[in-house]
Amino acid sequence: MTDTNQDIHIRKSGVTGRITFNRPKALNAMSYDMCIAIEGALDTWRHDDDVKMVVIDAAGDKAFCAGGDIADLYDSGTKGDFAFGQTFWADEYRMNAKMFEFPKPVASFMQGFTMGGGVGVGCHGSHRIVGDTSQIAMPECGIGLIPDVGGSLMLAQAPGRLGEYLGLTTARLNAADAIFTGFADHYIPEAKWPALIEKLEQSGDPALIDLAATQLETGPLEQQLDDITPLFAGDTLQDIVADLQASDSDFAASALKKLSRNSPIAMGAAVEIIHRVRALPDIRYALEQEYRFTYRAMEHGDFLEGIRAQIIDKDRNPQWKYLLADLPADKVADMVNPLDAQVIADKLTFEKGE
């Protein structure tokens, strides 16, 4: 199959299925149509005996995929149409599950920014490659959303309480820390990627990736693990904030400053979801927990205001619904309580046996 969509190039090359993000001027942001195209390719290739593995990369040097294209979500949401966003997230999460569960090797080459929706494509495969420019992050709490696209599963499984730290502060991971936290597997210098991809297209042998990988020195977050874990081990966002306030360390002060910029509703829900997924580390369970929040995010959360401040008006001054100190516990519960069974049946559907 070949997809001629200019924003994403999907084709078979040699014995591989190939997906290339092709919106470098937009940091390869993923639109709804691109998401559906990726899902269609996965559905086709899982049953194609000529496809031995899938290789995903991106045009340009600034980003693999810096997230979802949220302009359409903002436009529809501000008009009171929440259904488009609810459908977008449900369909994206279905694709994320298929990527995670894909029965053949999937290699992703993630240069530059890999954030949000990009993590849902690049960080769920079997061979996740980073290089010197790689910066991976889940920045959603800064726009009133929670770490989603299955990101809550990776945050829950990160060492110590790095998951809470990354989700709440929206900190970026370099190559070494991306591997340490479980968002990536291998470091390979980016100059070697084109030749390696060509060999993969010819052979379909993912062992070539293991042979090309080299070790990195310890990353900065790994070095801070012993500082981070006790400060981010609280049961709730309020507990974490209290622990940070009680500390006299420069690290705690810096972390508090980062939290002060982000949506209290989103951060409170992120802590709850990460804790739930840590207890039941399953991709479909993680996506269902995330969907409880994103389904409600436009109408009942801070998402539209976050997009306004960050993307539309760019004043970087969001007016969140609550101050960090005043976030009601029942508001967090309202955002992550189970959705109506019919909503799940109609929206968030995972194919049986797929």
Reported as a single tens digit per residue, the pLDDT across 165-198 is 999 999 999 999 999 999 999 999 999 999 999 9
Query: Please, which pLDDT band fits residue 354 given cuts at 50, 70 and 90?
Result: very low
Place of tokens 């693999």: 64
CA atoms within 13 A on the CB side of 29: 8
Reported as a single tens digit per residue, the pLDDT across 62-103 is 999 999 888 889 999 999 999 999 999 999 999 999 999 999
Domain residue extents for the chain: 8-346
Tell me the mean pLDDT in the region 230-234.
98
**Are 340 and 331 a contacting pair, CB within 8 Å?**
no
Structure tokens given for 177: 């820390």
Whole-number pLDDT of residue 309: 96
In whole angstroms, give the CA distance from residue 151 to residue 114. Answer: 12
Cβ count near 262 (within 10 Å): 25
Reported as a single tens digit per residue, the pLDDT across 136-176 is 999 999 999 999 999 999 999 999 999 999 999 999 999 99
CA pseudo-torsion sign 38, 40, 43, 45? negative
Give me the phi and psi of 228, to 5 degrees please.
Answer: -75, -45
Q: Please, what is the average pLDDT of the chain?
A: 96
CA 194 from centroid of its chain's CA atoms: 25
Percent of the chain with pLDDT over 90: 93
> How many residues appear in the chain?
354
Per-residue DSSP letter, 309 = I
CA pseudo-torsion sign 47, 28, 125, 185? positive
Domain 8-346 has CATH 3.90.226.10: yes
Tell me the mean pLDDT in the region 235-258.
97
Give, in order, the Cα–Cα distances in Å from 21 to each of 30, 108, 188, 190: 8, 11, 20, 17
Starting from the edge strand earliest in sequence, which strands make up the sheet with 113-115, in order? 63-65, 113-115, 135-137
Does position 2 have pLDDT exceeding 70, yes or no? no
Whole-number pLDDT of residue 71: 84
Reported as a single tens digit per residue, the pLDDT across 30-73 is 999 999 999 999 999 999 999 999 999 999 999 999 998 888 89
Whole-number pLDDT of residue 3: 52
Whole-number pLDDT of residue 5: 67
Computed over its alpha carbons, how large is the radius of gyration of the chain? 20
Does position 128 have pLDDT exceeding 80, yes or no? yes
